[in-house]
Amino acid sequence: MNKKTVRDIDVKGKRVLVRCDFNVPYDENRVITDNRRIVAALPTIKYLIENNAKIILCSHLGRPKGEVKPEFSLDIVAKELSRLLGKEVVLAKDVVGEDAKAKAAALKQGDVMLLENVRFEPGEEKNDENLSKEFASLAEVYVNDAFGTAHRAHSSTTGVASYLPAVSGFLIEKELNFMGSALENPERPFMAILGGRKVSDKIGVIESLLEKVDVLMIGGAMAYTFFRAMGYTVGNSICEEDKLDLAKELMEKAKAKGVKFMLPIDTKVGKEFSKDTESKVVKFSEIPDGWEGFDIGPETIELYSKELKNAKTVIWNGPVGLFEFDQFAVGTNSIAKILADLDAVTIVGGGDSAAAIEKAGLAEKFTHISTGGGASLEFLEGKKLPGIEALQDK
């Protein structure tokens, strides 16, 4: 990674503004149900504490759309951070207002405070110049450690970096090192598994990966668009009729590049979208009318397993079935188990695939699980992420 990190800058005694991704899920009682994103930020925060910085954390939570909404307050995050760090993390009553400024000015070395939800400010998502300057006025150094929002050009992710020395935290460093080296210099055979609903969501990723991988395996609802492009009927399965030519083009491109392009050979179909619907396994070419495909079938699991056993690097983005319903989670869970046992570099590109692995209790067995859904997708596409571009080069 050619970007400076917190190691490359003197933070002692300095006020350091750290953009984190604390956009965590919580229930109706405002109890956090998954604290992974908070835990992922701890190495950077602890490093700054140990190096006597004065630490000002900031993040968004949910989509308050520029309005102050108590249900999106970061009070629950401040509480969880205090527990994890074993020291009080003070929450400011505002983002860049009087309370935030007073609390920032009063910080002593090793103290940690948290600004209120940055998206309470209407200028945040517009990357407003004045707001960026307000953020910068709170600190002397800026650290971005929010990979999950690195694909967004907002005031707290890119704007502020124009006014302060800007470096990355350890989480962004880790993301770029693992995903970057997998894409730039993978140990081969290099394989990718892509799932999810739509081909259109993954066009850029498929095109980018076809330049790099040896094998590309398709699962999830987007497989049915490829079946349709091959001339088969797909019943009530999700299918993008306007993307059939594109699907054909992608298959032809794979062939021309010598990439093994693998599609499911059987599929588990259901009568309707419900967790206990009637279901059965059929060949991919024989999906009956009135039925919808919800998972890869046992023969596909076996076929993909056999192929994956040879892999040395695997990137997985998107579940291969409707994993939220147990009877259609078999494919996704099977892929997760196969990858967990591989002697290979295994990288999971955030979002639903990460949730599926957590659910299966296998997270510890993967080389790297990305914290950024949209950001990791854009990174896989080869796009430049504004939150990374804004940081100082080494």
Catalytic residues: 37, 198, 351, 374
Tokens 């910085």 map to which residue? 53
Residues in the chain: 394
The tokens for 63 are 């989509």
Question: Which CA distances in Å does 194 have to 133, 206, 370?
Answer: 41, 8, 15
The tokens for 290 are 């009135």
| Integer Cα distance of 227 and 285 in angstroms | 7
| Integer Cα distance of 310 and 307 in angstroms | 6
Question: Which CA distances in Å does 278 have to 65, 219, 266, 328?
Answer: 41, 21, 17, 11
Looking at residue 124, its amino acid is E
Instruction: Please check whether residue 247 is in contact with residue 229, taking contact to mean a CB–CB distance below 8 angstroms.
Output: yes
Q: Give the three-class secondary structure for 260.
A: strand
Tokens 């993040």 map to which residue? 59
CB atoms < 10 A from the CB of 319, how many? 30
Residue 5 carries which DSSP code? B
Tokens 């953009």 map to which residue? 19
- Kindly compute the dihedral angle of the four CA atoms of residues 214, 220, 221, 227, in this order, to the nearest 10 degrees: 40
The tokens for 242 are 């306007």
